Chain A
């Protein structure tokens, strides 16, 4: 069973309006890809940025998703929303990009230890950025499945059912991954002295 076979029927109604676009996508029509991009790039980019924690790597992930779309759409049966399908592709392609983001972050952390330029942000903004960076570092140490579950459920505030549809796993599995992710992240953040 592929990831896309397990998507639920609840989005079938919303998938219908895309039938014409899907047909054009299946014929490798580049203008159809552009159309889908205009409709869904925002949601996809937001997810990619939260997952990778790096704007440039997130753009690479978005690029790869839309380049892979004409080929992947041949496996799409139309029983889920196109956005859910796009997120599924992103999840499948995320591994390489998450690693790249982690490497970039490590390199940037090394650079950040140099004395920085004058900051225009107030102290609170600096603290917020520090917390977000600490969370990203902690996320880098989670297995990809748990990371995806945490980002989608906690940061993007999606339901576990929706996440289950995207990742192609049972809802209970998603909840279990989320439980373990929280536990590990708490421990990691405490270790960093953020408790």
Chain B
């Protein structure tokens, strides 16, 4: 211990002899250790029981759903029917400036439906009735007696 130096040597000797008072702490700690272990074991058993009940419930529910046909039907429905998609709004090509929209065969404008509805058909040309030719025979006139 001479390597330590006199002051450290004395302090180490003092620490060796310092028993800090033993009292009845050893027995108390023994009881505390056993109580902690028992408490931990009880907690583990509770957790295991809870997990078992949960697993059995899940198993029972799944079995019931399978046997009753609910589960296969749900699986089929999920596989077969894709969720309905909302149709996209078609893009209307924009023409050059001043161009209002697509033209019909005779230059009529085609009204473009707003909101994705079907486009209106071009209005058909108006019918022009030919003029009646003059009658070759004079119209019968009434004769006076």
**CB–CB B26/A45 < 8 A:** yes
Contact A49 B11 (CB under 8 A): no
The reply to whether the CB of B55 lies closer than 8 angstroms to some CB of chain A is no
A55 within 8 A of B: yes
User: With A63-B32, A154-B4 in contact, do A55 and B11 touch (Cβ < 8 Å)?
Assistant: no
Q: How far is the CB of A154 from chain B (nearest CB, A)?
A: 5
By secondary structure, the A interface counts as: helix
Residues on B with C-beta less than 8 A from A190 are 7
Of residues 34 through 87 on chain A, the ones whose CB sits less than 8 Å from some CB of chain B are 34, 37-38, 41-42, 45, 49-50, 53-56, 58-59, 62-63, 66-67, 70
B20 x A67 contact (CB < 8 A): no
Q: How far is the CA of A195 from the CA of B7 in the complex (A)?
A: 5
Q: Chain B contacts of A56 at CB under 8 A? A: 25
User: Is A129 positioned at the interface, with any CB of B under 8 Å from its CB?
Assistant: yes
- Interchain CB contact under 8 A, A63 and B41: no
Tell me whether B38 and A155 are in contact (CB under 8 A).
no
Chain A residues with Cβ below 8 Å from B14 are 128-129, 131-132, 135
Q: Is the CB of B29 within 8 A of A186?
A: no
1/0 per residue B95-118: CB within 8 Å of A?
000000000000000000000000
Question: Of A30, A59, A154, A195, which is within 8 A of B29 by CB?
Answer: A59
A28, A62, A63, A131: most-surrounded residue (chain B CB, <10 A) = A131
List, in ascending order, chain A residues with CB within 8 A of B32's CB: 63
- Contact between B41 and A28, CB atoms less than 8 A apart: yes
Is the C-beta of B40 less than 8 angstroms from some C-beta in chain A?
A: yes
A103: Cβ under 8 A from any B Cβ: no
In the complex, what distance in Å separates the CA atom of A112 from the CA atom of B14? 19
In the assembled complex, A194 has its CB within 8 A of some CB on chain B: yes
Which residue, of A30, A136, A195, has the highest number of chain B Cβ atoms within 10 A?
Answer: A30
Residues of B within 8 A of A163 (CB): none
Residues in B whose Cβ lies below 8 Å from that of A37: 30, 33
B41 and A30 contact, CB distance less than 8 A? yes
B11 to chain A: closest residue by CB? A135
A-B contact pairs, 12 of them (CB 8 A): A30-B41, A41-B26, A54-B20, A55-B20, A55-B22, A55-B23, A128-B18, A132-B11, A135-B15, A138-B11, A155-B12, A194-B10
Given contact pairs A67-B37, A185-B11, A194-B7, a sample of 8 additional A-B residue pairs in the complex whose CB atoms are under 8 Å apart: A28-B37, A37-B30, A70-B37, A131-B10, A131-B13, A154-B1, A155-B16, A185-B8
